[in-house]
Chain A
């Protein structure tokens, strides 16, 4: 049962990463690991849409960025002691993060309702367009820094945890990733997940059985949006900074690539995809340097782009699918 063992091994490895980084004398790597874990949350929620719901959304960064901005904006109001919609602002994570999740889910409800009126290429283009709309909205919000973004003085405090400690924050993110994976795992095998997967296989057939595909797809879209919102809130805390770049469409593309690299339609694959993607981002520049081409260091994408094309053309099942073979797919 490779399927049971891989996630456990994965968890053990992730648990050991911070001490490992200290041990090899590169403690700053904990920050990279945190990024990986946060993007993994965004990627697994996107895979709920693509791999299990058959909805190729090219706008996932919208919900990610929205969650980040909710954190950033509320914290900004708290720091400046200005009320927000007449309410006193707070910097407490236990209030801000659920709000970030709610706002992202609400945005997903609206965008999903409009986008799901269409399918196929239309859906791809429309999710992309709506995400870009939010991007431009935040660019135009001078009040919150516009193009330059918004600084956060410190991480949102959480009772009982020293948030300024990078290790604590890493383990918190890892714990949240585990929770998200657990929830999605239940969801996929529960009635809702079965219906969702059936709609992916054949929407017309599912409808002929009495299933209202819109209701299920929209619910999945909201759940995925909520998860991306959480990831965004974590990213805002991690960076201490939010900017429109977090909503930019290339970030939607990046998250999409993580899903594909890891393995579409698998629960844990996208986590692996996030690891590969961010590792490539980290190490391809170094590889150029090592190859005696330091001038190409910032141009790592010149290799990554064609690499992505090759993967799409020849290795569709992703790394997780490769590792697990037939066991990766659910029956």
Chain B
């Protein structure tokens, strides 16, 4: 058994009376798609924020590829190979699509301190960026302002930014949110195609997508992990049915 990509141990986080993480233990194996589900307010987005470093847990440790990253800043975790997308689309709206990805490629290479040569015509940035846009099917929109893209395209660009980092673990916060059935299906297929390149931690409300994609599913309720296992076990789990699927 190889080392897990991510392991959380004894993670706690409260906001006043609200418990967002209650002594959480979780492991994401290398290369797997690990889905995180649970009712609204279960603490899924908060958990992603803690893993990415935007929120500090009250206690507990976060290990990434065998290294303790609990004390690292957001950008340091990203440099270590942790990529993420946001639930609310967060692309650079004033840049064009290509420049968005160029920025991410530049960030991955750690080459932001260039003061003279224009960045957007530099082939060492531009070619890999175009390659990613081709993968995402966004190349035709390369010259358009990101703010002018449709919602679905912005979701794709959001993912393109994360992919440009070549992450070892990709955290996806509701990648299908607000997408129509067709775009959603495309996204599922695309994520399937990525399988094996990197581990994924997927938060998603679309259960069809979750069961189609996930190798492992963990269920959160009020910050507690109430079940974790392969999709078929989760589908029949009593506690999960009661807390979550039953209300569907």
Contact = CB atoms under 8 A, between A and B. Distances in A.
- Chains A and B belong together in one complex: yes
A211 B108 CA distance: 9
Nearest to B161: A209
A192 B107 CA distance: 11
B84 A189 contact: no
A210 B84 contact: no
Interface string B163-193: 0010000000000000000000000000000
Contact of B112 (A187, A205, A211): A211
Nearest to B167: A210
Interface string A190-201: 111111011001
B143 to A, nearest CB: 8
Nearest to A201: B92
B119 A190 contact: yes
Given A204-B90, A207-B74, A329-B94, A194 B115 contact: no
Counting chain A CB atoms within 10 Å of each CB, the highest count among B74, B113, B165 belongs to B74
A231 to B, nearest CB: 20
Contacts of A194: 95, 99, 102-103, 106, 112, 119-120
A204 to B, nearest CB: 7
Nearest to B86: A205
A189 B118 contact: yes
Contacts of A208: 52, 54, 74-75, 78, 83-84, 86
B179 to A, nearest CB: 20
B118 A190 contact: yes
* B contact residues, range: 35 or more
A134 to B, nearest CB: 28
Contacts of B16: none
Contacts of A8: none
Contacts of B95: 194, 197-198, 201, 331
B110 to A, nearest CB: 7
A205 to B, nearest CB: 5
B93 interface: yes
Contacts of A205: 86, 90-92, 161
Contact of A209 (B73, B96, B119, B165): B165
A167 interface: no
A209 B116 contact: no
B117 interface: yes
Dominant SS among interface residues on chain A:
helix
A190 B116 contact: yes
Instruction: Count chain B CB atoms within 10 A of each CB in A191, A219, A330 and give the residue with the most.
Output: A191
Contact of B120 (A189, A204, A213): A189
A191 B114 contact: yes
Contacts of B92: 197-198, 201-202, 205
A211 B75 contact: yes
A89 to B, nearest CB: 33
A206 to B, nearest CB: 8
Interface in A57-95: none
Contacts of A189: 118-120
Interface residues of A, number: 28
A210 B108 contact: yes
A190 B113 CA distance: 9
A266 to B, nearest CB: 13
Given A187-B115, A191-B111, A212 B93 contact: no
A112 to B, nearest CB: 16
B207 to A, nearest CB: 27
B145 interface: yes
A210 B114 contact: no
A212 B86 CA distance: 19
B78 A190 contact: no
Contacts of A207: 73-75, 78
A216 interface: yes
B219 interface: no
A216 B74 CA distance: 15
B8 to A, nearest CB: 19
B234 interface: no
A284 B118 CA distance: 42
Interface string B67-101: 00000011110110001101000111111100100
Interface in A210-234: 210-213, 216, 219
Contacts of B5: none
B107 A211 contact: yes
B112 A195 contact: yes
Contacts of A331: 94-96, 99, 145
Contacts of B103: 194-195, 198, 206, 209
The 5 A-B residue pairs with the shortest CB-CB distance in the complex, in nearest-first order? A191-B114, A210-B78, A195-B112, A209-B107, A207-B74
Given A208-B75, A208-B78, A211-B107, 4 more contacts: A186-B118, A194-B112, A198-B103, A210-B75
Interface of B: 52, 54, 73-76, 78-79, 83-84, 86, 90-96, 99, 102-104, 106-108, 110-120, 122, 145, 161, 165
30 contacts: A186-B116, A189-B120, A190-B114, A190-B117, A191-B106, A191-B115, A191-B117, A192-B113, A192-B115, A194-B99, A194-B102, A194-B106, A195-B106, A197-B94, A197-B95, A198-B92, A198-B95, A202-B90, A204-B90, A205-B86, A205-B91, A205-B92, A207-B74, A208-B54, A208-B86, A209-B108, A211-B112, A213-B75, A329-B94, A330-B94
